[in-house]
Structure formats: structure tokens, C-alpha cells
Structure 1
Amino acid sequence: MAHVLRDFFTGSLILAVLTLSALAGFVLFLILNVFFHIFGALVIIFFFISLIFFAVWLIGFTYRKTREDRREKK
């Protein structure tokens, strides 16, 4: 009879550990999900800011090159 109780408690302990592991994994998944959404939003914002700066630089570069070309032709 002692081995039946020991097996029962061992099975209960294994199920409890697996349940707690699943809950911990779920919480970790939620935290990482929120983190990666925030990180993704920051990457998108950084990309658009970089795109705006590149567009401004390209306009200035093109303007300078056209002015230099006009001066060389004269």
C-alpha cells in the first residue's frame, strides 16, 4: 500500500511541476510578446526617422551637385 501512495504523490508532484512550468512559460511568452511588440514599434519608428533624414540629405546633396554642375558649365 505504501508504494501506491508513493506513486500517487510522485505523479501529483510531477503534474504540479509541469503545471507550474506551463504557467511560467506562458507568463514568459506574454512578457516576450509585449517586449517584441515594443521593440518592433521602436524599430519601425527608427526606420521612418532614418528615412526622413535620408530624404532631407538627398535633397541637399542633389541641390549641391546641381549648383556645382552649373558653376562648372559657366
Structure 2
Amino acid sequence: MTNPKEIAFTSPAPRRLVCSRCGTEFGCDLSGNCWCAEESAKLPMPVKGEDCLCRECLRKAAAEAAQA
């Protein structure tokens, strides 16, 4: 039987993603502490043909959506 005290719980390494607009590689932390959760710029996701965006593209897309 496994001793529960011996099991080490570690946070998984951030996922490496590529921005679907500009191709910039960035990390995504699935623990809910991802940088995008801290952004005031919010967009409905996913948009057809797009997955996660890097910080700069997210801000640009939010500004474009606000102007429309």
C-alpha cells in the first residue's frame, strides 16, 4: 500500500502555447493563475480559427472589439 505522506504534489509545468495570431510562444498555467486571468482585456473565446492569444495580441484584439 502506498503511504500518502510519500506522495509529492507538485504543480504541473506551464503548457507552452503559440499565439494563433502572431506565432509568439508563451506559457499557460492550468492552475488558474495564468497571466490572462489577470488581464482586464476579455474576449469571447474561442474565436473560429483562433486559440489562445499572447498578451499583446489579446490586448490588440480587445481594443479592436471595443472600437467595433
Larger strand proportion, structure 1 or 2? 2
The normalised TM-score by structure 2 is 0.28
Q: Which structure is richer in relative contact order (CA contacts within 8 A, separation 6 or more)?
A: 2
- TM-score norm. by structure 1 comes to 0.27
